[in-house]
């Protein structure tokens, strides 16, 4: 197969709360600006007249966890009307709160946290807007992502933007340090794109002795190089236009421990819902145009998902944990939780968005 280099990219965002503190509240509000001296009091010696303090926002009453199927059948159309939507599949208890908080800060209006058991209070970040909804479903079962995401596609209003990922995964997109996911998707939609290619960038701890589960948000590492793409072929052996299979990271370096159908790092993690659309087991969509990396006439936005998921699996799997002493190598680099870092390395692309 012909090899092609992965397209250059870009993007930034804040680290999860466990890695760094955020200057903005979880709902995206900023601290109140300081009061400037009035023109009649240029020196600011007199106490300014201060308005009465605004009433503290009333926290939304948290929704009690309920089965996914019942929620979608009874309240889905109404509860999913506010987008963009995020579906977070909770497979274990690792970095659940930081994952949910990260996507709160990104600007998702509704976040479905799908878990086998109800989340504990410690696993749910402050949520004054009531955006996080904990739903119960067996998200640990192999292939659960298709059942869950396809059920949400069917229940959500048509043309809703939807993102899906797992706990200990963090979405980054170009300029995400200063722009919301809604702003980015609005531009993407103006370019007549209904889906966005994302690259899953493997994160891992630098020392498996100190971090036996391979997870450390404070000291996260990733591969700065070693990514490549191959032309994607159809059943007749013909190359599909504007579609590539991308490889790299831990899936490439430790490919002997992963089955061939799990070695790709590309995922269509952001897309618009439509009747009949289905997510496929290999993280592609049933509509071929939605699997393309760009439109025919110019480059488009791409995003990245920084993920500890493969590192966790390799560190836990009996067949690999005794074979891997460390994930670090000469091309490992500290992850700065910065979109710009990913853009500089060509792991995301802003397209025509500046």
Quote the CA–CA distance of 47 and 270 in Å, as a whole number. 51
Lowest mean pLDDT among 22-26, 87-91, 143-147: 22-26
Omega within 30 of 0 (cis) for the link into 84: yes
Lowest mean pLDDT among 4-8, 176-180, 215-219: 4-8
Q: Is residue 237 part of a domain?
A: yes
Q: Is residue 66 part of a domain?
A: yes
Q: Is residue 256 part of a domain?
A: yes
Q: What percent of the chain has pLDDT over 90?
A: 76
Backbone angles phi, psi at 62, to 5 degrees: -60, 140
Q: Is the pLDDT of residue 317 over 60?
A: yes
Q: Is residue 325 part of a domain?
A: yes
Three-state DSSP class for residue 198: strand
Quote the CA–CA distance of 299 and 352 in Å, as a whole number. 7
Lowest mean pLDDT among 39-43, 165-169, 255-259: 39-43
Q: Is residue 49 part of a domain?
A: no
| Contact criterion met (CB below 8 Å) for 306 and 335 | yes
Structural domain count of the chain: 1
pLDDT of residue 16: 58
Task: Indicate the Cα dihedral angle 142, 279, 220, 334, nearest 10°.
Answer: 140
State the chain's mean pLDDT as an integer: 86
The arithmetic mean of pLDDT across residues 147-163, rounded, is 97
The arithmetic mean of pLDDT across residues 211-215, rounded, is 98
Alpha-carbon distances of 149 from 112, 133, 354, rounded to whole Å: 10, 15, 31
Residue 32 pLDDT class (50, 70, 90 cuts): very low
pLDDT: which is higher, 273 or 57: 273
| Contact criterion met (CB below 8 Å) for 277 and 285 | yes
Domain that includes residue 103, residue range? 3-13+61-344
Q: Is residue 50 part of a domain?
A: no
pLDDT of residue 62: 64
Q: Is residue 121 part of a domain?
A: yes
Q: Is residue 193 part of a domain?
A: yes
Identify the bridge partners of residue 170 per DSSP, sorted by sequence position: 306
Three-state DSSP class for residue 279: strand
């Amino acid at each position: 197969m012909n090899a092609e280099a992965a397209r250059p990219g870009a993007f930034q965002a804040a680290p999860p709360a466990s890695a760094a503190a955020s200057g903005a509240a979880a709902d995206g509000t900023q601290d109140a600006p300081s009061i400037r001296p009035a023109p009649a009091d240029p020196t600011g010696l007199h106490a300014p007249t201060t308005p009465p303090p605004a009433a503290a926002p009333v926290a939304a009453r948290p929704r009690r966890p309920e089965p996914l199927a019942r929620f979608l059948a009874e309240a889905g159309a109404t509860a999913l009307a506010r987008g963009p939507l995020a579906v977070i599949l909770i497979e274990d208890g690792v970095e659940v709160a930081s994952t949910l908080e990260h996507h709160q800060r990104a600007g998702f209006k509704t976040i479905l946290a799908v878990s086998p058991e109800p989340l504990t209070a410690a696993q749910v970040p402050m949520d004054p807007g009531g955006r996080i909804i904990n739903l119960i479903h067996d998200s640990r079962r192999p292939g659960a992502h298709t059942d869950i995401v396809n059920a949400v596609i069917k229940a959500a209003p048509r043309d809703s933007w939807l993102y899906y990922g797992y706990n200990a995964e963090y979405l980054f997109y170009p300029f995400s340090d200063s722009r919301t996911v809604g702003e980015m998707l609005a531009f993407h939609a103006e370019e007549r794109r209904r889906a966005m290619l994302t690259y899953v960038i493997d994160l891992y701890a630098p020392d498996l002795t100190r971090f036996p589960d391979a997870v450390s948000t404070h000291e996260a590492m990733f591969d700065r190089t070693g990514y490549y793409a191959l032309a994607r072929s159809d059943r007749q052996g013909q190359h599909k236009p504007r579609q590539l299979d991308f490889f790299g990271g831990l899936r490439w370096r430790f490919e002997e421990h992963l089955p061939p159908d799990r070695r790709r790092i590309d995922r269509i993690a952001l897309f618009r819902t439509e009747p009949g659309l289905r997510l496929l087991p290999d993280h592609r969509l049933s509509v071929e145009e939605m699997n393309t990396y760009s439109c025919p006439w110019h480059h488009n936005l791409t995003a990245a998902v920084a993920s500890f998921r493969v590192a966790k699996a390799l560190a836990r799997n009996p067949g690999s944990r005794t074979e891997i002493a460390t994930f670090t190598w000469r091309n490992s680099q500290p992850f700065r939780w910065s979109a710009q870092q990913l853009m500089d390395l060509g792991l995301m692309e802003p397209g025509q968005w500046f």
